[in-house]
Amino acid sequence: MNGFPWLTTLWVLPLVGAVVVVAVPRAWRTAARATGLVVAVATLVVAIVIAARFTPGGAQYQMVESHRWIPAFGAGYTLGLDGIALALVLLTAGLVPLLILAGWRDEDEVGGGRRVAHIYVALTLVVESMVLVSFVSLDILLFYVFFEVMLIPMYFLIGGFGPHANPELRRTRSRAAVKFLLYNLFGGLIMLAAVIGLYVLTARQHLGGAGGTFDLRAVVQAAATGHLGAGPAVLNALFLGFMFAFAVKAPLWPLHTWLPGAAVSATPSSAVLMMAVVDKVGTFGMLRYCLLLFPHAAKTYAPLISVLAVVGIVYGAIVAIGQRDVMRLIAYTSISHFGFIILGIFAMTNQSGSGATLYMVNHGISTAALFLIAGFLVSRRGTRLIAEFGGVQKVAPILAGTFLIAGLATLSLPGLAPFVSEFLVLVGTFTRYPVAAICATSALVLAALYVLWMYQRMMTGPVKEGNEGVHDLRARELVVVAPLIAALLFLGAYPKPLLDRIDPAVAGTLSTIGAHDPAPAVPQVNAEHRPVAGGSEPSGTVHAVTGPGAANGGTHP
């Protein structure tokens, strides 16, 4: 380790902050929230410093910290950062202060007890800490520990906070939290078996000296050179163990059924924390662990996973159209968007991989904006049913306007951030799986349908009875929404700062696993300008052929 331990500071700061928040006296509810906000902002400052110190195109893993942890098992406390992790670190650190501020005075979040506000803010900071260390971990066992531990505070955020007056809502929330926990714990147990199996392989090959190792870099090197000492069947089984856990968390169809219930049962801030931050650990794990540790297995199962991703894209969009609950509708759009991310990862091209990583960031921003604005509206009206709204733009024009921008970002309108990432995913996927890319584009039409129809029913037309008293966004809510809208506009017009850091990391990942962009087939042309059967050349190849102008030195491409 060289210099100041920035990565350790990054994840320890919110964890220590959670302890401080809980220690705030019981009656000081506002002070507890303010303390949590200060800690979250400080974590964002650390993330910005890390981004400033990161060198695009430099070493694959930067700011590496390494200490002995459990030498007997070959496990170490090893942290490192690449461009993929950096993008997700910035997303996480940037969203959490806004989420704390979004629920600042929402009485639903603080329920009946005087210390509930303390616990709510502390649990949010704990989740942030667990997610951050997952992104920067370079030790497989260390990653697994925090991958599982983050489920506990998230379970309490889903099941313990929200409307307390309605017993039926409490029961629904409890069921959703249990379903979330059981699904993810089962996936984690499958992954644990795969982690143990991988360790046994490293021990047999003495990668960690006398015993095995959990060092990601050492295992990736062994996997890339074929020195793990296992046959395809074993490696395929281990790949499926990791992939199953990540597919549950992401989630990938048909392992998605826990998400809509958890999203609508939690408070809007907790739901955004889950969908925009926690679930990204699943797609991040696919990129860093499934591809790097099991390159041949990943290529074997890539067509199947791509099919499931396309099904999820179309399924999520179609089901969203039929929703009557605005929050559930937005939850189903996330299932569709995760399908795009997973499709981009397993297309294994530079464009699709960069697009998938950028999509993780853009989905987090757009979902946060849409879900939080919808949450503000629901809290005013007291209902989530779309049919109960109407004419809101006449009584709350700023709320309606920002809701429209967030909705247009969700359908990937050109000029807004998700368009760039979705375009890269589709273009990169088309070169590998053209049929999958074509099928996925159908979601663009479906997304326009569910977003614009939702906006039309909720915001336009005459003011429905009960909506007369809906007031516009308050100053605090504007402070939450404005940075999200600004980020959607900025990254839609100028994604280069993020892509400059993401592209080398994606290229390094694909190079390590031996995945190369497929060259589009271009027919050769003979002197009569007729295609030559079976002829193809890599993209960019230009053939000089004799033509009418050849006698004068001319050539025809």
For residue range 66-123, what is the model confidence (pLDDT) as tens digits? 888 888 777 889 999 999 999 999 999 999 999 999 887 654 444 445 557 888 899 9
Average pLDDT over residues 305-327: 92
Q: What is the pLDDT of residues 359-415, one digit of tens each?
A: 999 999 999 999 999 999 988 888 888 888 988 899 999 999 999 999 999 988 999
Determine the pLDDT at residue 68: 85
Q: pLDDT confidence of 520, banded at 50, 70, 90?
A: low
Is a pLDDT exceeding 60 seen at residue 462? yes
Token readout for 90 is: 């910035």
Determine the pLDDT at residue 195: 93
Is a pLDDT exceeding 60 seen at residue 27? yes
End-to-end CA distance of the chain: 54
More confident residue, 306 or 211: 306
Closest CA to 214 of 76, 62, 82: 76
Is a pLDDT exceeding 50 seen at residue 538? no
Closest CA to 296 of 234, 346, 236: 236
Determine the pLDDT at residue 167: 56
Determine the pLDDT at residue 547: 38
Determine the pLDDT at residue 29: 81
Q: How far apart are CA 553 and CA 129, in angstroms?
A: 67
Average pLDDT over residues 531-535: 48
Is a pLDDT exceeding 70 seen at residue 525? no
Q: pLDDT confidence of 541, banded at 50, 70, 90?
A: very low
Q: pLDDT confidence of 41, banded at 50, 70, 90?
A: very high
Is a pLDDT exceeding 60 seen at residue 58? yes
Could you identify the residue written with the tokens 């503000």? 376
Average pLDDT over residues 177-182: 91
Q: For the purposes of burial, counting CB atoms within 10 Å of the CB of 41, is it exposed (0-12), middle (13-18) or buried (19 or more)?
A: middle
**Coil, strand or helix at 114:** coil
Q: How far apart are CA 513 and CA 515, in angstroms?
A: 6
Is a pLDDT exceeding 80 seen at residue 526? no
